[in-house]
Amino acid sequence: MATDVLTRTRGRVDAYFGVSENGSTMRRELMAGTVTFLAMSYVLAVNPAVLGDQGALGDKGIPIQAVFTATAVAAVFGTLVMGLWARYPIALAPGMGLNAFFAYSVVLEMGIPWQVALSGTFISGVVFFVLAVTKIRERILNAIPMPMKFAVGAGIGMFVAFLGLKNAGIVVNSDATLVTLGDFTAGTTLLALFGLLVTVVFLVIGWHGAVLYGIVLTAGLGIVTGLVDLPDGIAAMPKGLDQTFGQAIAHLPDAFTAQMAVVILTMLFVDFFDCGGTLIGVANQAGLLDEDGKLPRAASAFAADSVGTMAGAVIGTSTTTAYVESTAGVSAGGRTGLTAISTAGWFLLAMFCYPVFAVVAGSPEITAPALIVVGVLMSRALGEIDWNRLEYSIPAFITIVMMPLTYSIANGLAMGMLFYPVVMVAKGRIREVHPAMWVLTVVFLGYFFFLAE
């Protein structure tokens, strides 16, 4: 009797997710989810390091244990929604780049409290959801020229890598030249260089989870050399959400300002196109696109991403989005939402391992190599830009270079968006500029004249 029930249950699960239909097996799906988790679990250490109050933000940051718990919960919730609703082998978690924008541009540069920044994140998720379930999604996707989409991704990669180099002590402040080479005799800098070296080696030889393995080895060497403290334990009950849960809703009235409008627009823009690119890229690798090259159940997939963002903001973390590391699970055979559910299960278990991740999150020299490598991976979009077409390459270059040099993703995005219509008009191609681009031009002009410092 029990065998019959199990058989029927397996059959229903198979039918709902289309496991056999997509040429996979349940065992393969579960293993693929494990591979995806290994590839992206570094977020549990890096996100608290970026957003937490023990890093560059200091007392302006979110309590670090709350960030860790919120990161894990957001990953579990968002990934489950993607797996159960959209049924794709794609995992979600607080996004790299978007968390840097939240921390360094919004909280540190603009001086906006993290509670209000969470409200902005929530609003961006709501707007994203509306776009996802309507035909406006397609119009927006077509409104922004591809070179600018690639430039934003590459620029964020440069910014994230710059943060990593700074945290590692490889690049330091200089009164004469703004930045210069750091002290390579310092123990923490040497530890970061070791971490960068081993992580790069692991990536080059094709190890799934290369970033995680690099973090583990770097932390181990740090503990052996006395540069990093031993963790207080291995497991602990999740806590800290009482400090962050609901803050996004409570501070919603404070988010309706001109300054926050630019913040929300930037969050929405980056998440919308990052999600779209990730979804198409992962689905294409998995062979899940239809005959026309379009993504089936696209509305559900986009909506799942937006729901993850809203939930993550309410819980207490920056924008939750689809992770390109999901390709690791796809390469291991994952084809359905069961892969995502498996990944969510691992994040649920990891939620109880705060003492271990806390040591890593509180040591910037350990997480710095991860930021540098993630920046490199994001910057691959540079190769997609047609550098021989000046009407594309000039605004793209300005977008990319302004992000790290002004220490602001918003500044780079705004500057590039201002230059694009100008060069297109000069080229005699004004008809190719979408009306939405002119609206953005006005918005970002206002940003520079009235809001940017």
Residue-wise pLDDT tens digits, 412-434: 888 998 999 999 999 999 988 88
Is 137's pLDDT higher than 80? no
Average pLDDT over residues 325-330: 90
Residues sharing a CB contact under 8 Å with residue 191, sequence separation 6 or more, in sequence order:
218, 221, 222, 225, 227, 228, 365, 366
Distance of CA 78 to the CA centre of its chain: 13
Average pLDDT over residues 359-377: 88
Residue-wise pLDDT tens digits, 285-304: 888 887 776 788 888 999 99
Note the pTM of the prediction, 2 decimals.
Answer: 0.89
Gyration radius of the chain's alpha carbons: 22
Cα distances (angstroms) measured from residue 12 to each of 17, 84, 275: 9, 13, 30
Cα distances (angstroms) measured from residue 387 to each of 141, 151, 399, 434: 22, 11, 14, 21
Question: Biggest alpha carbon distance in the chain?
Answer: 79
Residues sharing a CB contact under 8 Å with residue 43, sequence separation 6 or more, in sequence order:
71, 75, 93, 94, 96, 323
Average pLDDT over residues 164-177: 92
Contact 352, 236 (CB under 8 A): yes
Please give the tally of structural domains in the chain: 1
- 447 in a domain, yes or no? yes
Exposure string for 269-298, b = 16+ CB within 10 A, e = fewer: bbbbbbbbbbbbbbbeebebeeeeeebeeb
Q: Among 65, 22, 100, which residue's Cα sits nearest to residue 319?
A: 100
Residues sharing a CB contact under 8 Å with residue 150, sequence separation 6 or more, in sequence order:
381, 382, 384, 385, 396
Q: Which two tokens stand for residue 84?
A: 């159960």
- 180 in a domain, yes or no? no
- 21 in a domain, yes or no? yes
- 275 in a domain, yes or no? yes
- 190 in a domain, yes or no? no
Q: Which two tokens stand for residue 352?
A: 């109880």
- 215 in a domain, yes or no? no
Residue-wise pLDDT tens digits, 92-106: 999 988 999 999 999
Q: How confident is the model at residue 295, as a pLDDT?
A: 83
Residue-wise pLDDT tens digits, 343-355: 999 999 999 999 9
Owning domain of residue 263: 15-171+235-363+377-451
69 φ, ψ to 5°?
Answer: -65, -45
- 280 in a domain, yes or no? yes
- 8 in a domain, yes or no? no
